[in-house]
Amino acid sequence: MVTKNKVQLFFLLFLIITSTVGCSEKSKSQKLFGVDADYFVGLQKLAEGKEKEARTKLNRCIKKGSFYCAKKSAQLLCTFGNVQEKNEAAVNLISKYKDDESLLIAAKQFESSDEISKLIECTSNIDFKTAKNELIYLRLNAMRKRGDSNYQNEVYDWFTSCPISKEHYQFYKDIYEHPDFAKIQIDEKQSESDSEKPSYTPRQFVLNFRIEVFKRNYIYAYNNTKKILQYFDDGNLPANTQLCSDIGKAYLYGSTDFAKNASYFSKLAEQYKRTDKEFYFWFYAGRLFSKASDSYSKVAKCFEAAIQSAQSTEQKDNAIWYLLKSAQDFSLNTLLDSIQTHSKQWNDPEYFEDLFESLVPTLLSSGQGNSFGSIYKIIDGYASDETVARFAYLYARLSQEGYADAKEQEIKEAFRRACRSGSAIYYRQLAAYQLGLKDTELYNVLSAPVKNTSVQFSKQLKEPLAQSDTKAKDFEKLIKGYAYFGFPEKIYETFVSNKNEQLPLDSYFYLADFLSKCSNKSECTEKFYTQALRISAEGQRKASENMSKAQMRLLFPENYKEYVEKYCQQFNVNDKIMYALIRSESFFDPSVKSSAGAIGLTQLMEVTGSDISKRFKMQNYSLTDPETNIKFGTYYLSTLVSRCDNSYLLGFLSYNAGITRVRKWQKSSLVEFGKRSEMPLDLFLETVPFAETREYGRKLISATVMYDWLDNPENFESTVSALLK
């Protein structure tokens, strides 16, 4: 039995040895992986074009290998050889493995070889509520081709058992759309004469209705909801929860007669009392009454009824969220009372983070400093640690600045509570700074795990079913085997597709370290930088105890060091700040493009890149080129910081939202706080009206602090002070 240290040493050998595995290495691999080595050798043989040798190795692993390597071997056999061999491999695969991934591989093979009956047979027991839509699509298309008598029933089941997806929409457009729907009149008052009865069936009409809601064609949907409800009343179709939800959306967004519609939904809720449909009608009645700006008592009554009739914890949390939002819109005292009551009822505290996040600038702008103390004490043990930390920290800081009434001991207690946060490193850092923590105390705060430690959350959170030790070790062997045998490109895709599988904590950081180093090799690509960071971030989320500095360095990597140091020196920018910006903007992915059109490592807009290129007289450039992007981004940030009186935080906010907006926000926040100058920047950040920009500022501050602390722990206090000046 080899020791753990020897195993780790053997894995690290791959980083040095890139030549073909020789006899000595083969012996080591057999000791480490046993029969599972046949899977990885089979992959190598297949890459070399030696299909016969690959098949022999894979078949051996299927018979004698561990769970994951055996399954991967069986799946791989479906991808090469002649049609007969691939079909046979697909049959063998699903005879042993019934998971969606294996079924999808087999189904695709049967479709490509026109084995319609086999495709239908192998997917006969899938659950439309949980199965992959791609797999269901293949099944239904096969049933259509064969003229299966149950085809129409299964199409209807798929379209009404789960939310509409892009696969539903594609199936509908390509295969199922009824020609008469283009002729349907949307005037709900128009009746159909006997001579003009439609040729579509109630089920076909329902499918079209769901598609139109998916397309957000709410006016059409609203004008046809009565027809759906009539189908229910007449017994033509059973009432369905997905349809009830769509009907609610149609009334909410397709009509402005909110009060009338809310009353109608209250009656529907009574009609469907004690059924799984009742929740939806109470829920949308509450939202409609809220839209009508009706009395809070009516709104609350509906949401309370929705909470009581909820069929799942998700539904319950959704109803509580809207109840709290309605209370917030009504009055602060109403909100505090509602939080006091319902914080003990919700299931997932993280679901409510955005509501509390949006509450912060509202309280600040209205001068409700003491409310931060009331709220943080009410929600402690029920809300997420990030939310508790935010309210505790702000209560303490507002008291220091004279905007709340906490005494010195209360202020210290609030800062200490913020330090215990399990998810908000930003507030932990700032609270530690305010408390003057150093050395071991500071290390314990900054290296703490990010798991939520809320009392209620820890009791109610449903953890995934624990794997057996054997299965966990099998998965670890599979994913580390890809590193050892030279298949780094398979690590992240395997990690993502098996996201519910558990790994020992050290393995997350081993894989991250491996991929990060692999990115520096000419035969590998830069995409591994991003993959390494994502895997290490998942390791941080899984940690149950403080991380080492080596592990934290993988969370805050200094990739593209040559370019960062070069241009930070040229434009007088702290290199830790640029690492933080790149990490926050792109996760070190040089090819990423945001939905808004921002490009590359520092996420520059094309128009910004064009302006900067003229400054450097560069006619030909690419924002996806790492060096160019870092040069442009560093220069751009340096100009913003300079224009913001050398304030890094204001420069960060300007980078995200524009300097004109930031200056406007500064002026308005000074008015709200009754100050003429020197608004504390940590408090100013919380008044920024855009949640995205607030979070952006927090991310860059916290990442910069971590980068600098890892190299210069003695400078922690001066670093935080400089960033917030």
Contact between 30 and 37 (Cβ < 8 Å) = yes
pLDDT surpassing 50 at residue 154:
yes
pLDDT tens, residue by residue, 509-564: 999 999 998 876 554 578 999 999 999 999 998 888 899 999 999 999 999 999 99
The pair of three-digit structure tokens given for residue 203, joined into one six-digit string: 């089920």
Provide mean pLDDT across the span 189-215.
75
- C-alpha 688: how far from chain center: 24
Nearest to 683 by CA among 693, 694, 699: 694
Q: How confident is the model at residue 679 (pLDDT cuts 50, 70, 90)?
A: confident
Q: Where are the alpha helices (DSSP H) in 147-189?
A: 151-161, 166-171
Q: How confident is the model at residue 20 (pLDDT cuts 50, 70, 90)?
A: very low
pLDDT surpassing 60 at residue 403:
yes
Q: Where are the alpha helices (DSSP H) in 278-424?
A: 278-291, 296-309, 313-330, 332-342, 353-365, 369-379, 385-400, 408-419
- C-alpha 300: how far from chain center: 31
Contact between 123 and 139 (Cβ < 8 Å) = yes
Q: How confident is the model at residue 136 (pLDDT cuts 50, 70, 90)?
A: very high
More confident residue, 627 or 31: 627
In this structure, the number of other CB atoms found within 10 A of the CB of residue 45 comes to: 19
Contact between 445 and 425 (Cβ < 8 Å) = no
Burial of 216 (0-12, 13-18, 19+ CB in 10 A): exposed
Provide mean pLDDT across the span 406-419.
96
Whole-angstrom CA distances from 414 to 11, 374, 403, 434 are: 46, 12, 15, 11
How many residues does this entry show for the chain?
725
Whole-angstrom CA distances from 335 to 325, 374, 383, 394 are: 8, 11, 15, 19
Classify the C-alpha dihedral 541-707-550-479 as positive or negative: positive
pLDDT surpassing 60 at residue 191:
no
pLDDT surpassing 50 at residue 7:
no
How high is the pLDDT of residue 725? 87
How high is the pLDDT of residue 422? 73
How high is the pLDDT of residue 176? 77
Q: Any idea which residue has 């009645």 for tokens?
A: 285
Q: What is the dihedral of CA 58, 62, 65, 67, to 10 degrees?
A: 120
In this structure, the number of other CB atoms found within 10 A of the CB of residue 128 comes to: 17
Provide mean pLDDT across the span 357-385.
93
The DSSP secondary structure of 414-439, one letter per residue, reads: HHHHHHT-SS-HHHHHHHHHHHT--H
Provide mean pLDDT across the span 141-169.
93
Average of per-residue pLDDT values in the chain = 89
How high is the pLDDT of residue 1? 40
Distance (Å, whole) CA 87 – CA 112 = 10
Q: How confident is the model at residue 423 (pLDDT cuts 50, 70, 90)?
A: low
β partners of residue 604? 599
Q: What is the dihedral of CA 249, 252, 254, 258, to 10 degrees?
A: 160
Distance (Å, whole) CA 323 – CA 300 = 6
Contact between 93 and 105 (Cβ < 8 Å) = yes
- Which DSSP letter does residue 174 get? I
pLDDT surpassing 80 at residue 163:
yes
Contact between 506 and 543 (Cβ < 8 Å) = no
pLDDT surpassing 90 at residue 633:
yes
Contact between 507 and 476 (Cβ < 8 Å) = yes
Contact between 343 and 329 (Cβ < 8 Å) = no
Nearest to 698 by CA among 685, 709, 689: 685
Q: How confident is the model at residue 4 (pLDDT cuts 50, 70, 90)?
A: very low
Phi, psi (5° rounding) for residue 503? -125, 150
Provide mean pLDDT across the span 82-108.
96
Q: Which of 161-175, 439-453, 456-470, 597-611 has the lowest mean pLDDT?
A: 456-470
β partners of residue 599? 593, 604
Phi, psi (5° rounding) for residue 69? -65, -35
Q: How confident is the model at residue 196 (pLDDT cuts 50, 70, 90)?
A: low
Provide mean pLDDT across the span 423-434.
92
The DSSP secondary structure of 81-126, one letter per residue, reads: S-HHHHHHHHHHHHHH--SHHHHHHHHHHHHHTT-HHHHHHHTTT-
Nearest to 299 by CA among 329, 342, 273: 329
pLDDT surpassing 60 at residue 194:
no
- Which DSSP letter does residue 604 get? B
Distance (Å, whole) CA 694 – CA 702 = 12
pLDDT surpassing 50 at residue 222:
yes
pLDDT surpassing 70 at residue 722:
yes
Measured at the CA of 533, the angle between CA 528 and CA 538, to 5 degrees, comes to 125
Distance (Å, whole) CA 498 – CA 75 = 15
More confident residue, 458 or 436: 436
Rounded percentage of the chain residues whose pLDDT exceeds 70: 90
pLDDT surpassing 80 at residue 635:
yes
How high is the pLDDT of residue 2? 41
Per-residue three-class SS string for 470-520: HHHHHHHHHHHHHHHCCCHHHHHHHHHHCCCCCCCHHHHHHHHHHHHHHCC
pLDDT tens, residue by residue, 260-277: 999 999 999 999 999 999
pLDDT surpassing 80 at residue 195:
no
The pair of three-digit structure tokens given for residue 117, joined into one six-digit string: 């009956």
Q: Any idea which residue has 């992986």 for tokens?
A: 33
More confident residue, 617 or 675: 617
More confident residue, 353 or 458: 353
Distance (Å, whole) CA 383 – CA 147 = 54
